[in-house]
C-alpha cells in the first residue's frame, strides 16, 4: 500500500495552502510581499477576496465606484481584486489562484474557506483602526484569530 501522506506533511511542513485574505488595499499588498519574504518559496496559496452587498468589504482594483446593492457588479469587482492579488502572490514566489466569496462578517468567510481548504496558514493585514470607529467596526484580524485554530500571520503597517 502506497503512503498517501503528502510529502511536506511527512517532513513536518504545512499540508494545505496559505490563504491570503486580500481586500485590495496597500496593506494587503504589503502582507503578500511580507509573506513572500518570510515563507518558503513555491507554496500553494489561495488569494481570497471576501465581499458583501451594502458594505462591499474590499477596494476595487480599478478604483471604480460600485453600487453596493448590485451583487453581480460587486462579485465581478471582487473577482478582479482577487486576480490582482494572485499576480502579487505569484511575484512573491507562490503558486497562486484566486477566489471570491460572499460572507458577512468578513472574518467568517475567511475562516470558513480556510478550514474547508485545510489551510496551513492565514495571512492578512491589520488596519489597526482605533477610537470609536475601530471599536464599532471591529477587527477582521482579531476576529479571524479568535475564531480559528489555523495559524494566522497578521502583518502590520510599518510606521
Question: pLDDT 10s per residue in the chain (159 long)?
Answer: 433 333 343 334 457 999 999 999 999 999 999 999 999 999 999 999 999 877 777 888 877 777 777 888 889 999 999 999 999 999 999 999 999 999 999 999 999 999 999 999 999 998 765 554 444 345 898 899 999 999 999 998 775
C-alpha dist (Å) from residue 156 to 28, 68, 115, 117, 126: 10, 28, 23, 25, 5
Rounded to 10 degrees, the C-alpha dihedral 26/32/36/42 comes to -140
Residue 126 grid cell: 491589520
Q: For cell 513572500, name the residue.
A: 36
Taking the whole predicted model, whether its pTM rises above 0.75 is answered as yes
Give yes or no for a contact between 43 and 14, defined as CB atoms under 8 angstroms apart: yes
* Residue matched to cell numbers 489561495: 46
Q: Which residue has the cell 483602526?
A: 129
CA angle 118, 146, 148 (to 5 degrees): 10
Within 10 Å of residue 34's Cβ, how many Cβ atoms?
Answer: 17
Which pLDDT score is estimated for 66?
Answer: 76
Domains and CATH numbers, the chain: 15-156 (3.40.50.620)
Span between the terminal Cα atoms of the chain, in Å: 55
Angle CA 22–151–100, to nearest 5: 25
Which pLDDT value is given to residue 129? 57
The pairing of beta strand 18-21 with beta strand 152-156: unpaired
Amino acid at each position: 500500500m502506497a503512503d498517501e501522506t503528502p510529502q511536506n506533511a511527512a517532513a513536518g511542513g504545512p499540508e494545505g495552502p496559505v490563504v491570503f485574505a486580500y481586500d485590495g488595499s496597500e496593506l494587503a499588498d504589503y502582507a503578500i510581499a511580507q509573506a513572500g519574504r518570510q515563507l518558503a518559496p513555491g507554496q500553494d496559496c489561495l488569494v481570497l477576496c471576501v465581499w458583501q452587498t451594502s458594505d462591499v468589504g474590499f477596494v476595487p482594483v480599478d478604483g471604480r465606484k460600485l453600487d453596493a446593492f448590485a451583487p453581480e457588479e460587486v462579485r465581478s469587482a471582487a473577482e478582479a481584486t482577487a486576480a490582482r492579488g494572485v499576480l502579487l502572490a505569484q511575484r512573491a514566489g507562490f503558486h497562486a489562484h484566486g477566489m471570491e466569496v460572499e460572507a458577512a462578517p468578513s472574518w467568517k468567510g475567511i475562516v470558513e474557506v480556510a478550514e474547508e481548504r485545510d489551510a496551513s496558514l492565514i495571512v492578512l493585514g491589520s488596519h489597526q483602526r482605533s477610537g470609536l470607529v475601530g471599536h464599532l467596526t471591529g477587527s477582521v484580524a482579531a476576529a479571524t484569530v479568535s475564531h480559528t485554530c489555523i495559524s494566522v500571520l497578521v502583518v502590520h503597517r510599518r510606521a
